[in-house]
Amino acid sequence: MTAGQWNRGTITYLVGYFAGGAGAAGLVFSLGKLAYDMSGRELDLGLLGLAEFAPAAFLVVVTGSVADRFERRWVASAGALGEAVTAVLVTAYVATTPTAVGPLFGLALMLGVARAFVAPSSRSLPADLVTSDKLPWLVARWTIVFQVALVAGPILAGVLYAVDVRAPFAACAVLFLAASVAFALLPPPLDPLRRVEVPAGRRLHDAFEGLRLVRHQPILLGAISLDLFAVLFGGAVALLPAIADERLGVGPVALGWLRAAPGFGAASMMLLLAIRPVRTHVGPILLSAVAVFGVATIVLGATRSYVVAFVALVVLAAADALSVFIRVTLVPLVTPASARGRVLAVENVFIGASNELGAFESGVTGQLLGPGMAVGLGGIATVAVAGLWWRLFPALRNVDHFPVPPPADAPAAPPAEVSRS
């Protein structure tokens, strides 16, 4: 680690990601709290998650191509500005003292569109700002900053919500605007890609390149699909408003702290990784972390104690942060730089499916079975996924060290498997 790694680019990027992450966490929390207060239905929490996820899925070939064909810092800045506009519109709607939940779904859909463009472009930026040997260093600090944002966003939103229901949405608008400015101020990439004009007849084929790369590369497919199915079944966070109300009997401030608990766990894990980064046994550690995530989710679904629920959220988030660190470092390193936007757009759909679509799944099962049973069964399914992926993806299981990235102009052929030597 050298002082030279802290420069204008890395600092500005981390500031922007903190602002965007805190804004997103605060806005999603506030939308969920408002919807549940208005209707009292767990299903509405799931529908909000579905509305946030749908744009990433439907726009995947567009957002990835945009991130690869245009300056990623400008794409991320424009997307964050779109998130700010959404937060302003929610603030205006809340100011009318609404009673209808329906418009919140439309606003969540608008938020999802903006986030669909922000995610692949902003996720590609670390590999544009530092050399490949410094990428794990930046990823560790990026994840720390992001997890601190996940703590700060819900806590700030919970406190402001208790004071004035409009306040958290206005604060999120300011955070998104700050993120937009920070991304716009980033320096150009160290190794600018050659933007080759794609003939009109090849553009659709080119847009689907990310899907083909993921499908043909077992390490990419295993790592990304693991996150999809594990968090899809273990998406307990979406039901926290219902868990806090029905099982723990706490109000909005305590709920804000409960929603921030995952941030504490993840930030603690990332501090540990900054000191002692994962260097060997990458694949087995990834799969084991997902299993621990599932066990902690089972505990969360079974308890009626606020303290136990808080600790369970800290543990499951620490395990999730470990798996995220490995995946966020591994995926760009096995992807040619010229295709990172498209591959990370595909990954964003998988992440969105695991989070927002997982929120929908949790909302439906919570409505049918109650929040405790829904969360517990989801945790059991997550443990099962970790065991199944251990058998289905030996290439992922056998990854020992992080690989050397392919060159920027590498063809889209499947890279060689990285196995334990």
Rounded distance, CA 85 to CA 81, Å? 6
Burial class (CB in 10 A: 0-12, 13-18, 19+), 40: exposed
The upper half-sphere exposure of residue 133, i.e. CA atoms within 13 Å in the direction of its Cβ, equals 2
CB 120 within 8 A of CB 341: yes
Rounded distance, CA 249 to CA 367, Å? 18
Burial 164-202 (b: 16+ CB within 10 A, else e): ebbbbbbbbbebbbbbbbbbbebeebeeebeeeeeeeee
Of the chain, the end-to-end C-alpha distance in Å amounts to: 27
Q: Tell me if residue 234 falls in helix, strand or coil.
A: coil
Closest CA to 62 of 198, 208, 202: 208
**Per-position DSSP letters for 328-394, written without gaps between them:** HHHHHHTS-GGGHHHHHHHHHHHHHIIIIIHHHHHHHHHHHH-HHHHHHHHHHHHHHHHHHHHHH-H
| pLDDT of 89 | 94
| pLDDT of 2 | 46
| pLDDT of 173 | 95
CB 296 within 8 A of CB 66: no
| pLDDT of 345 | 65
CB 419 within 8 A of CB 147: no
**Hey, how many other C-beta atoms are within 10 angstroms of the C-beta on 279?**
10
Rounded distance, CA 127 to CA 256, Å? 33
Rounded distance, CA 232 to CA 253, Å? 27
Name the amino acid, one letter, at 396. Answer: L
Would you kindly state where each structural domain of the chain is located, as residue ranges?
8-186+207-397
Name the amino acid, one letter, at 78. Answer: A
| pLDDT of 412 | 46
Phi, psi at 187, each rounded to 5°:
-75, 165
**Hey, how many other C-beta atoms are within 10 angstroms of the C-beta on 275?**
8
Q: Tell me if residue 240 falls in helix, strand or coil.
A: helix
Q: Which residues of the chain have pLDDT under 50?
A: 1-4, 194-204, 409, 411-421
| pLDDT of 203 | 45
Calculated CA dihedral for residues 220, 49, 290, 301, nearest 10 degrees: -170
Name the amino acid, one letter, at 41. Answer: R
| pLDDT of 233 | 65
Closest CA to 92 of 173, 161, 158: 173
Homologous superfamily, domain 8-186+207-397? MFS general substrate transporter like domains (1.20.1250.20)
| pLDDT of 411 | 46
Map tokens 């700002």 to a residue. 129
| pLDDT of 68 | 73
